[in-house]
Amino acid sequence: MAAGSCGRSGVEEGEPGEAAQAVEPAQPPEPAQPIDAKVVSEWEAAGGEYGWVRIDELGITSWQPQSEEPGPGALAGFRFEAFPAGKLAGLPQPEVPFGLYLEGCQVNDQHVKELVGFERLRILGLAINQITDEGVAQLATLKGLRSLDLTENPITSACMKHVGRLQGLQTLDLNQTPVGDDGVRQIAGLKNLWMLDLTATGITDEALKHVGKLPRLRMLYLNGLPSITDVGMAHLKACSELEFLSMDSTGITGEGLAHLAGLKKLATFGGANIMWSDAGLDALGRLKALRLLDVGGAMLGNGRLNKLADLTKLESLAVDYSMVVDEDLRALRKMKNLTELDLQGNDISDKGLEQISTLTALKILRLRNTKVSDAGLLRLTTLKNLREIDLHRTGVTTEGAAKLKEALPELEVKF
């Protein structure tokens, strides 16, 4: 891996180095294999539901019923509605890699003791439970774990040293856990991590020094962190594999995006509900590889939307509740690849739909809480690929919606 990418020796202290060390190839994903029917029967007798546990496209631990085709990254596994206290440890070991989905099961530290004997456990979803630092310490024995979701558990930075010992971890969700900067420091050695969610963890720019040492990081959530600023973004420029970055409701102005200009793989950026400066929007407009962008809640009127006009690879754009008016929509004319556009809550009328009518790749269009009317809808009949439109709380009548549906029979009109 070239110099300038993430990864360097000495993760506990010091600043990111000038050059990166070579990174070993990532382990290939383990294929989904069925669990032996006898084992499944005993787990079901204990209250478990057999199906698929997977890490979805957003990096989130999720559940799929057995009746569905397993998605990418799925493993056979079990879900419980209530933790089977006193039963789990006595169940037979699945002989293939598997997952457990225990979200909202009131799992506590005592229950965690029943999990630590499962050597082939790879995906563990423990969101919204009652696990403390003591319980997390016990999880450190699960050396085969690849994905761990601790969302909304009452843990602190004290337990992160144990998480840092799980060297095989590839995804880690700490959403709404107060682990803070010191907690992030202690997981900087997880060199296989490709998804990290630090939403509402109370971290500051200091933590991003350690995030910048994760060589395989592809997805990073930093939402709800007002102490993250443009200064901290400089530490992310070393993450050369970064594809997805979400920074909604942070303290940035966008100017720090200039540090990310070298991240050629960055395709998705979330920057909703932040105070964009003109310089910040200029920096955003230079991220030409972006395919998905959410800047809802920004002030993009008075021509400011035009600063994004050269993002011609965009396939999805959200500028909802952003003070956009009809004239501003001219900035979208070159975005011919757009398939999804969210304009909710803007001061847009039928005149603005003239600009939208040229975006013929559109499949989803959200116009809720705008001033469009029946007359304007006629301009959208050019959008032959349109499959969904939201017209709630507009000037459109039942008759107008019906005429649009008649012109575009495959369209779902939400009205």
Query: DSSP states of 85-100 as a string?
Result: TTTGGGSPPPSS-EEE
Q: Is the pLDDT of residue 19 over 60?
A: no
Q: Kindly report the average pLDDT of the chain as a whole number.
A: 93
- Spatial contact of 33 and 76, defined as CB atoms under 8 Å apart: yes
With a CB cutoff of 8 Å and minimum separation 6, the contacts of 137 are 159, 162
Band (pLDDT 50/70/90 cuts) for residue 291 is: very high
Supply the DSSP symbol for 75. Answer: E
Total H helices, total E strands in the chain: 11, 17
Tens-place pLDDT, residues 236-277 = 999 999 999 999 999 999 999 999 999 999 999 999 999 999
DSSP for 228-256 reads --HHHHGGGGG-TT--EEE-TT-S--SGG
Mean pLDDT of 273-291: 97
Domain spanning 31-203: which CATH class is it, in words? alpha beta
Q: In sequence order, what are the residues at sequence separation of 6 or more whose Cβ sits closer than 8 angstroms to the Cβ of residue 415?
A: 391, 392, 396, 398, 401
Phi, psi values for residue 235, rounded to 5°: -75, -15
- Cα–Cα distance for residue pair 287/250, rounded to 1 Å: 19
Instruction: Grade residue 7 by pLDDT with cuts at 50, 70 and 90.
Output: very low
| Beta carbons within 8 Å of 25's beta carbon, 6+ residues apart | none
Residues 6 or more apart whose Cβ sits within 8 Å of residue 29 = 72, 73
pLDDT of residue 356: 97
Q: Phi-psi region for residue 339, left (φ > 0), alpha (ψ -120 to 50) or beta?
A: alpha
pLDDT at 135 over 50: yes
CA angle (2 as vertex; 219, 204 as ends), nearest 5? 40
Q: Is the pLDDT confidence value at 14 over 50?
A: no
Query: What dihedral angle (degrees, nearest 10) is formed by the CA atoms of 234, 237, 243, 247?
Result: 0
pLDDT of 10 above 80: no
Confidence of residue 28 (pLDDT cuts 50, 70, 90): low
Query: Checking DSSP bridges between strand 364-366 and strand 388-390, what pairing results, if any?
Result: parallel
